[in-house]
Amino acid sequence: MQKLCLANFSQIRLEDVPGKLEELIKYNLTVIEQLSSKRQVSWQSLIQPMEELDDKLNQFWSPISHLNSVKNSAELRKVYQKCLPMLSNYSTEIGQNEPLFNAINEIKKTEYNSLAPAQQKVIDNELRDFRLAGVDLAVEKKQRYKTIQTKLSELCNQFENNVLDATNKWTIQITDEARLSGLPEHARQAAKEAAQAKELDGWLFTLEFPSYYAVISYADDEALREEMYTAYVTRASDQGPNANEFDNSAVMDEILSLRHEKAQLVGFNNYAEYSLATKMAEKSEDVLHFLNDLAKRCKEQGKKEFDELTQFAKTEFNIATLNPWDISYYSEKLRLHKYDISQEALRPYFPENKVIKGLFEIVERLYGIRLQERSDVDTWHEDVRYFDVLDENGAVRGGLYFDLYARAKKRGGAWMDECVNRRRLEDEMIQAPVAFLTCNFSGPTKGQPAIFTHNEVVTLFHELGHCLHHLLTQVDYSFVSGINGVPWDAVELPSQFFENWAWDKTALDLCAQHYQTGEPLPDDMFQRLLNAKNFQSAMQMLRQLEFSLFDFSMHCEYEPELGGRIQEKLNAVREKVTVVPVPEFNCFQNSFSHIFAGGYAAGYYSYKWAEVLSSDAFSLFEENGIFDQATGRSFLHNILEKGGSQEPMDLFVAFRGRKPTVDALLKHSGIV
């Protein structure tokens, strides 16, 4: 039997949160002290009760943390910041608890061989994490580690707040309709409604991505594009229109310094080595070789793609020099010229309800899983939708929240996060997993439903892939169920893998229907979309490699006496891999939340590392059929259901029959 636990968002009283959190933490520490002091310990007497303590804390904090990302407010921010030190200290106290470490080590010595593989993985991970938290350190070094952890949690939160505030602060009001030339109708309507909401005339554009993307890609007014570009790439920096107001420069330097010190405290040369202790990649040299090798394979094609764009702008539009705010604009013109296709032409074919219905049908065909909407679930915003995840017999297997539209006070980007973890309860019932799926797409406007670009559809497939990894797990121990315990450079496998169905005509037909006429996506339009799939793919690959090499080398080569040298490191990477000129005032690193506020520090390479796995995994479907049931169930049983209970390479080999090669990635990316 499955037990579904959903949060009551409307009943959360923010003023009570710090006190309740403090009580929970005190209780947990008291119980853990009692559990670890027993003379004889076992999985049942120690790990199982610990899992329950961890789960109660997670179910309390997860909704608060989620609200901080999707419904930020001054009151919530204050509460969140008050709670962070408590959580950080608690985590460090657990990680440095020697009696607890010794007790788990005793289980390793006495009971390990009789445990199931998933339980063994829990034990191995726990012992590894104790050492990473400094359990072996002297008292004063333990205290320093604890101080560093607390400060890092505060700094990462400050970084994210600065990005959010800088994004929300800047707007531009347009009252001359001539300046809107080139903009899609839906973007104009959204800007008009944004202005009306603030009782302004004309149209209001913001740095929320749908608004920014529309202008930078389609606005004929170069001055408007330049103004938007400058504001966007200087967010949270000492450059641009809001210079210094939310500057993250000092925050970034301090984060890097503390990460390096933490890594050295527990015996690593740098934070990159510390990061790899929990990943598939074993050595820094392996990561750097992987990234540099990919860059080398892509560089010449990337140069040719940019030369083609430059020549096109010169020949067709008499543009002698491409400025940074021209790249997206003329790229769209070139895409249209070469393939007669654009994201805006595709948008009417992807209304929200049809996309979601088709998306769920694909899941059902592949894995035998159904998603069914419920309207009686408490959510944090009127736009949020909730779905039960049902197995082939109609039994509830999990729950999924969809929050798809951009809005003020909501963190940018798209992500999946856990709400509840699957685990076996004491009464032998199974606690069903629950996930959050969050995007920042354009919402409905007056008289028109939410309609998505194909790029947004691909993003939705990606994030649902993450969710399925969490929701379809059959592992009964929360420490390694779902996405828990999965190495960061393997966690992108299910998400990138699932994107492929957004490029298959049979699958995409399930998601595409013109929102006005009801007509399906025309075959010739799909073919043009497919032909354009790898448009500027080398340029895009090099951009991702730039981010990855910058992140990894910055953490790998950090020297305390010289400081972060963030811009210097970024410039060195750009010199090596970038084919598109970048202006000096561009401070993208100041809003690079993935590595300064998220979980990708010294791990951004994971996107490309996992893409090798995902491309090779999908190639089996190319051989057997896009909806081949046996292949779909094999992926379900060997990858999605196993969560973090086994090493990802072992799971991949069980599915694919061999280790991965980079060939499929290059082929799918159109890179020769």
Distance, CA of 209 to CA of 666 (rounded, Å): 29
Structural element, H or E, at residue 274: helix 271-276
User: In one letter, which amino acid is 630?
Assistant: A
C-alpha dist (Å) from residue 9 to 89, 381, 394, 594 = 26, 9, 27, 26
> Could you tell me the two tokens for 103?
């007790």
Rg (CA), the chain: 25
Distance, CA of 123 to CA of 321 (rounded, Å): 59
* Bridge partners of residue 3, in order along the sequence: 431
> Could you tell me the two tokens for 668?
């799918």
Distance, CA of 135 to CA of 140 (rounded, Å): 12
* Bridge partners of residue 171, in order along the sequence: 206
Distance, CA of 303 to CA of 307 (rounded, Å): 6
Distance, CA of 248 to CA of 152 (rounded, Å): 14
Distance, CA of 657 to CA of 637 (rounded, Å): 14
Q: Rounded to the nearest 5°, which phi and psi values hold at 442? A: -70, 130
- Residues 6 or more apart whose CB falls under 8 angstroms from that of 197 comprise none
The SS3 call for residue 25 is helix
Q: For tokens 């999946």, name the residue.
A: 416
The SS3 call for residue 402 is strand
Q: Rounded to the nearest 5°, which phi and psi values hold at 379? A: -130, 180
- Residues 6 or more apart whose CB falls under 8 angstroms from that of 116 comprise none
Judge whether 51 counts as a catalytic residue. Answer: no
- Residues 6 or more apart whose CB falls under 8 angstroms from that of 636 comprise 366, 367, 368, 472
Half-sphere exposure of 471 (CA within 13 A, CB side): 31
The SS3 call for residue 399 is strand
> Could you tell me the two tokens for 555?
């953490």
> Could you tell me the two tokens for 537?
């793919």
Residue among 424, 500, 485 nearest 651 (CA): 485
Of the residues 208, 305, 418, 463, only one is catalytic, namely: 463
Residue among 459, 461, 481 nearest 397 (CA): 481
Distance, CA of 363 to CA of 274 (rounded, Å): 37
b/e burial code for range 404-425 (CB count within 10 A of at least 16 → b): bbbeeebbbebbbbbbbbbbbe
User: In one letter, which amino acid is 64?
Assistant: I
Counting beta carbons within 10 angstroms of the beta carbon of residue 258, is it exposed (0 to 12), middle (13 to 18) or buried (19 or more)? Answer: middle
Contact of 421 with 434, CB cutoff 8 Å: no
Distance, CA of 618 to CA of 664 (rounded, Å): 9
Distance, CA of 322 to CA of 581 (rounded, Å): 9
Q: How much of the chain is in helix, strand and coil states, percent to nearest 5?
A: 60, 10, 30
Q: Which residues carry out catalysis?
A: 463
